[in-house]
Chains A and B, each alone.
Chain A
Amino acid sequence: MSGMILLQNTAWLPEAASSIAPEVDSLFHFWTLVSAIIFVGVVGAMTFFVVRYRRRRRDEVPEPVKEKKVVELAWIVVPTILVLIVFAWGFRVYIKMYTAPPDAYEILVHGYQWYWEFEYPNGVKTTNELHVPAGQPVKLRMTSADVIHSFYVPAFRVKQDVLPDRYSSLWFEATKPGEYTVFCTEYCGTQHSGMLARVIVHPREEFEQWLESAGIPEDMPLAELGARLYREKACFSCHSIDGSPSVGPTFKGLYGHEVELEDGSTVIADENYLRESILQPGAKIVKGYPNVMPASYASLSEREVAALIEFIKQQQ
């Protein structure tokens, strides 16, 4: 037991912030301890034999050792029992992990190359920021718009692949308010490692407040709204505003300048070109860039499109 406590204090595992995490960790510690003991035994015996039975004469031939069936049987039976314990324990944890309580708060998750979009029951949408209440089961219903992604929160010890044209789901109950990293763990192309998001766990009562105020105010100035959309819709994951090259053309100095297209023709990047490129990304591809922008931006409202154009205009 003291060994288990010792292991609990190591920095191997990240912070545990969900109701399932401590159960996963106990199993992990049990496995570590058993493995370590057997490993030390095996390597210890090997080292001892190598030292103890070093060859002394070049023509030395050892006496054959009579094989004891009991020994062989013992080391078949004992490991079998051990792995069955680990299996059963892992099975129990898994079933809990994948059985969402019926009263779970449901949030819709869309995976895109290369960002996450979250939709709450009242219609509020956020990008790359998942807001949840602490101490309440949350169920994510997830689907992808393009390739397979995988939603992973290390602090919650949960992970689930997110597939195109199909729902998969995941649930957790966050125990501590705070911010936790979300990684995409299924390789999804160029910006796979940039597809990061955060889970923001609010105290339960504050979550309601957040949800109320999360809608975009009507009177927000266009440029400010554009800046917010640039962040929230994850435009930044492909379009820089400092001129550095990325998956898509930079927004810096884009507006009003001539752009060379894939077919060799040129076009002035005016308001109409920007509008077309946001709503129909494949219509006029800039030379040297892949046609990979998701069509999902077509669902932006008129005001949002105008706001984004205003934001791009300002990046001179």
Chain B
Amino acid sequence: MATQTIAAQKTAQSEINYLNHARGLKSWLLTLDHKRIGILYLISVVFFFIVGGILALLIRAELFEPGQTLMTADTYNHIFTLHGAIMIFLFLIPAVPAVLGNFALPIMIGAKDVAFPRLNLASWYIFWLGALTMLVGIVTSGLDTGWTFYTPYSTMTSSGVTWVVLGIFILGFSSILTGLNFIVTVHKMRAPGLTWSRLPLFVWGLYATSIVQILATPVLGITLLLLALERILKIGIFDPALGGDPILFQHFFWFYSHPAVYIMILPAFGVISELIGTFSRKGIFGYKFVALSSVAIAFLGFLVWGHHMFVSGQSATAATVFSLLTFLIGVPTGVKVLNWVASLYRGSIWLRTPLLYALAFLFVFPIGGFTGIALGTLGLDVPLHDTYFVVAHFHYVMVSGGLLAFLGGLHYWWPKMFGRLYNEKLAQIAALLIFVGFNVTFFPQFILGTQGMPRRYFDYVPEFTTLHQLSTVGSWILGLGLLLVAVCLLHSLFKGQLAPANPWGAGTLEWTHTGRLPSPHNFERTPVVTRGPYDYHLAEEIFGNGHGDGGGTPAVIPAQGQAQS
């Protein structure tokens, strides 16, 4: 009798999870739970990604043929600007840290929540306040400056620059607060035994990112505030007509915006490390190098902004120094790729959707890296600067780093977020479509760029038509792939098979020490960590004989997963 009661209680207890312990809209909008806030961010950034993606498809459609086809030059200029501004400020920067980081980081370090849960919720509201301010400017008067807001064009145009930069200024606070929260959380709330050398690499990535967020974002904020003041009060900082210096704006802007590339990339590096570790059941080769180089890249990232300005009129000496520093940051980044590939060596490789995204990353990212070297080289950057070569380069870097890593991570943590599995076959087809579509879209742009096609062009000379058409067709394949991801994940949400606590046989705490869905406070008791995150041979709990809080759930590879050949 007594044992039965205990068993019943146990079942009831295990059914209380972060999704069902409180219901209703209010319980979500006022939640202090980092996992729910992660989901709120997920919905938000996916919304903005869809908007940015539709704009991208419109851009490509207009460029299918030379001349005016769908829209006027003015509309086109507004659309490409919005595509860039939305994708960068409302998708790439928040996607991995605010969604996946918020959801996974505290659990991965064995904490109940982030250090400042209220601040965490506030970050989300500030994110929306900033986004809405931006949207007000866009809806009332558009934005046609390019996402870089170069002066003096941005001080002269009649479009909604002031509102948008104000919006980005506000968004910056969201970014800073999230970064601050993560740094304190990682420093103060790690579980007993979780030393720095046992931290999962995703946590290292987020930690490095947070440093950049805190140090770089204020510079952008001040720069954009100055720009707004310039427009309203004509104070003469950037506008040469008022005695200002337009190059100064570029220095200020890139001092933030180059490190911002690392805000987008470093957490992605972390995700890739988790995926490769889990699906090859191997430690990451050179763990210490991979961990510490993220921090090193975060700091070095502040010293290379001038490589955006080789043809701007800055001095040759400055250009030379910036070029050299750029290469010095390129090397550790490249070495990381080699470390990931080496981690696969003699592993036990399980080809699931998340790993497919990681492998796609290992294909795409080096192309972004090599072309980055070309752009960092003084003599080569001159002809390639501000052409489609640059467009292709940063899409290879940011789409691989931002989008592929985000999708890989989303597919990886999905069963933990929603307790359900998705249709593996469908998800793999979607990943393949995205990989093919992405390369068909952007690879031709490298060739366009070397041939001289400048970026931000509404129209082009007829020689470029074939490559543009190829690129546009690629964008349709990419769009189809993303649509399929949405179908697949939405289907899983309602009809997906219930997931076991650790469907991938992963070794980090969120899989080994929580149930199918994490409970509101993550753990029933604080876990004690006795090994590194990828030491599979030491991890009995992964294979069902463990004593973790995962309800003793044995890690059963689900039915779909049994066909492994």
Contact = CB atoms under 8 A, between A and B. Distances in A.
A63 B346 contact: yes
Interface stretch (A101-109, A132-140, A151-159): A151-159
A251 B162 CA distance: 35
Contact of B382 (A43, A83, A158): A158
B73 interface: yes
Contacts of B537: 61, 63-64
B456 to A, nearest CB: 4
B116 interface: no
Interface in A149-171: 150, 152, 154-155, 157-161, 163-166, 168
Interface in B39-56: none
Interface in B448-469: 450-452, 454-461
B564 A190 contact: no
Interface stretch (A46-54, A216-224, A263-271, A298-306): A46-54
Contacts of A154: 383, 451-452
A23 B379 CA distance: 9
Contacts of A168: 313
Contacts of B349: 49-50, 53-55
A67 B382 contact: no
A87 B377 contact: yes
Contacts of A55: 281, 348-350, 564
B346 A190 contact: no
A147 B451 contact: no
Interface string B386-422: 1100000000000000000000000000000000000
A183 B456 CA distance: 12
Contacts of B351: 50, 54
Contacts of A232: none
Interface string B298-333: 000000000000111100100110011001001100
From A13, A187, A194, name the one whose CB has the most chain B CB atoms within 10 angstroms: A187
B218 interface: no
A108 to B, nearest CB: 17
A152 B233 CA distance: 35
B330 A83 contact: yes
A67 B286 contact: yes
Interface string A34-45: 010011001101
A168 B240 CA distance: 14
B424 interface: no
Contacts of B335: 72, 75-76, 79
Contacts of A92: 379
A283 interface: no
Interface in B61-117: 73-74, 77
Contacts of A191: 73
Nearest to A62: B348
From B319, B378, B557, name the one whose CB has the most chain A CB atoms within 10 angstroms: B378
A199 interface: no
B366 A190 contact: no
Interface in A64-119: 64-65, 67, 71-72, 75-76, 79-80, 83-84, 86-87, 89-95, 97-98
A97 B379 CA distance: 8
Contacts of A150: 311, 386
Given A91-B379, A155-B452, A181-B461, 12 more contacts: A28-B450, A35-B370, A53-B349, A58-B562, A60-B281, A61-B537, A62-B347, A90-B323, A91-B378, A94-B379, A164-B246, A193-B73
A155 B454 CA distance: 13
Contacts of B331: 76, 79-80, 83
Given A158-B383, A192-B77, A39 B377 contact: no
Contacts of B312: 161
Contact of B77 (A27, A59, A147, A190): A190
B379 A89 contact: yes
B77 A183 contact: no
Contacts of B241: 164-165
Contact of A65 (B77, B316, B337, B345): B345
Interface stretch (B145-153, B172-180, B181-189, B517-525): B145-153
A186 interface: yes
B455 A185 contact: yes
Interface string B249-269: 000000000000000000000
B384 to A, nearest CB: 9
Nearest to B243: A165
A65 B74 CA distance: 58
Nearest to A186: B386
Nearest to B564: A55
B150 A187 contact: yes
A148 B154 CA distance: 11
Contacts of A80: 331
Nearest to B383: A157
Contacts of A54: 349-351, 564-565
B286 A72 contact: yes
A189 interface: yes
From B370, B557, B565, name the one whose CB has the most chain A CB atoms within 10 angstroms: B370
A23 B374 CA distance: 15
Contacts of B359: 46, 50
Contacts of A89: 377, 379
A86 B377 contact: yes
A31 interface: yes
19 contacts: A28-B374, A28-B450, A39-B366, A42-B338, A54-B349, A54-B351, A55-B350, A62-B536, A86-B373, A91-B320, A91-B323, A94-B316, A150-B311, A154-B383, A157-B382, A160-B311, A163-B313, A185-B387, A194-B73
Interface in B350-373: 350-351, 359, 362-363, 366-367, 370, 373
A284 to B, nearest CB: 19
Contacts of A63: 346, 537
B95 to A, nearest CB: 25
B196 interface: no
From B312, B377, B379, B456, name the one whose CB has the most chain A CB atoms within 10 angstroms: B379
B157 interface: yes
B158 interface: yes
Contact of A46 (B316, B344, B454): B344
B122 interface: no
B382 A97 contact: yes
Contacts of B350: 54-55
B247 interface: yes
Contacts of A181: 452, 461
Contacts of A256: none
B401 to A, nearest CB: 16
Contacts of A93: 378-380
B192 interface: no
